[in-house]
Amino acid sequence: MEKIIKSHNKTLTSEKKTVQNHVKSSCPMNGKCLTTNVIYRCDVTAPNIQPKTYIGLTEGEWKLRYNNHKQSFTHKKHAKSTTLSTYIWDLKENHNITPTLSWSIMKSVPAYSNRTKRCLLCLHEKLAIITFEKQDELLNRRSEIISKCRHENKFLMANYKSKD
């Protein structure tokens, strides 16, 4: 059993995640869409509306996270999946406004490590939310600060899938 656990942990911790530049004119992240382990920022602007900012994170490629966001902006059934999508739908339905979104990477840090038992990705996102200068422009909820890291779940034995 110990051998299986060590093998499983080694597989998870030895994955090489590299930053790749993705050159495409439609990339909203200036060619950095394939970057992993990032804390990102989305600035929402629209005429006659106070600018708002959303701070998020993703362990996987940012492009996949972005695609999920796009889906929540276009399909009503996903409208409440994030605070950002709830705000976008509010602007669309109640104010008849389609906002402009600008995306940027704030920081790239490692996710949960089974060795240190810490998730720098979650900690830095919380720090970015707490220390954001214009709190009245921030879309993130305070409950995000006390939420548990979900990146450690892949290291739990309950989630181990046997190769048999």
Q: How many CA atoms lie within 13 A of 70 on its CB side?
A: 10
Contacts of 119 by beta carbon, 8 Å cutoff, 6+ apart: 111, 112, 113, 149, 151, 152
Average pLDDT in the chain:
84
Q: Give mean pLDDT, residues 120-125.
A: 91
- DSSP conformation class of 33: T
Residue 106's pLDDT is 93
Q: What is the pLDDT of residues 103-117, one digit of tens each?
A: 999 999 998 888 888
Share of the chain above pLDDT 90, in %: 46
Handedness of CA 70, 73, 79, 80 (dihedral sign): positive
Q: What is the pLDDT of residues 89-108, one digit of tens each?
A: 999 999 898 899 999 999 99
Domain residues of the chain, as ranges?
A: 17-155
How much of the chain is in helix, strand and coil states, percent to nearest 5?
A: 40, 20, 40
The span from the CA of 72 to the CA of 145, in Å, is 23
Residue 30's pLDDT is 80
Residue 163: band (very low, low, confident or very high) from pLDDT cuts 50, 70, 90 = confident
Between residues 28 and 50, the one the model is more confident about: 50
Q: What is the pLDDT of residues 49-84, one digit of tens each?
A: 999 999 999 999 989 999 999 999 999 899 899 899
